[in-house]
Amino acid sequence: MIGVINYGMGNVGSVVKALDYLGIENILGESPEALKSVDKIILPGVGAFKDVMNNLVKRGWIDFLNEKVIDEKIPYLGICLGLQLIFQESEEFGLSEGFKWFSGSVKGFNLPDGYKIPHMGWNQLWKVNEHPVFDGINSGSYFYFVHSFFVAPKEDSVVAGKTDYYIDFVSSVARDNIIATQFHPEKSGRLGLKILENFNKWNGLWK
């Protein structure tokens, strides 16, 4: 059973619809109590880093996530802001602390004229490391992005994929039972559905 976290901000409906389309058993939880029995977690993310982090704290999600993902080591898929939040801090609207699961920070794009911010639309995922959740996905495949900030990990070993938007930025990270993507699998057509299908089958082990 996959638990999809609804922290009261952003639209999580597209993730649930994609899982339902695939016939994957899931539950949308508005409180940690609702997801206490799940064996996988998806954290979709839309909104400003600091506001979302404050909302997660207020609703008791941080302790829940640390218990489930870090202590019990159930598989975690972070999407967009669900990727950024697992890092130490973000510079969006001033420094804000994240989950601190991964070393590194979240930085804003500084791009020349001709490059729009946010980075929005279809772009390529170039795989850096193979991962079970990317099984059947060719390096260079296109996925859908909407974001103005990107993650800068301190450890190269966690980088699973990169994307080119004037700079090569990290668009996916993974370690142990955690995988996260800057792009939106739920909005990325057939290949995005393949990623969600792979995540449902994944046992949470990598390397």
Instruction: Please give the DSSP secondary-structure letter assigned to residue 61.
Output: H
| Active-site position among 119, 131, 147, 184 | 184
Is residue 186 annotated as part of the catalytic site, yes or no? yes
| Active-site position among 25, 80, 91, 97 | 80
Rounded to whole angstroms, how far apart are CA atoms 2 and 147? 25
Q: Which of 157, 171, 170 is nearest to 207 (CA)?
A: 157
Is residue 92 annotated as part of the catalytic site, yes or no? no
| Residues in a beta bridge with 28 | 4
Is residue 30 annotated as part of the catalytic site, yes or no? no
The length of the chain, given as a count of residues:
207
| Interacting residues of 148 by C-beta distance below 8 A, sequence separation 6+ | 92, 108, 109, 117, 118, 119
Q: Which of 167, 156, 165, 15 is nearest to 77 (CA)?
A: 15
Rounded to whole angstroms, how far apart are CA atoms 128 and 5? 28
| Active-site position among 92, 131, 186, 197 | 186
Catalytic residue numbers read: 80, 184, 186
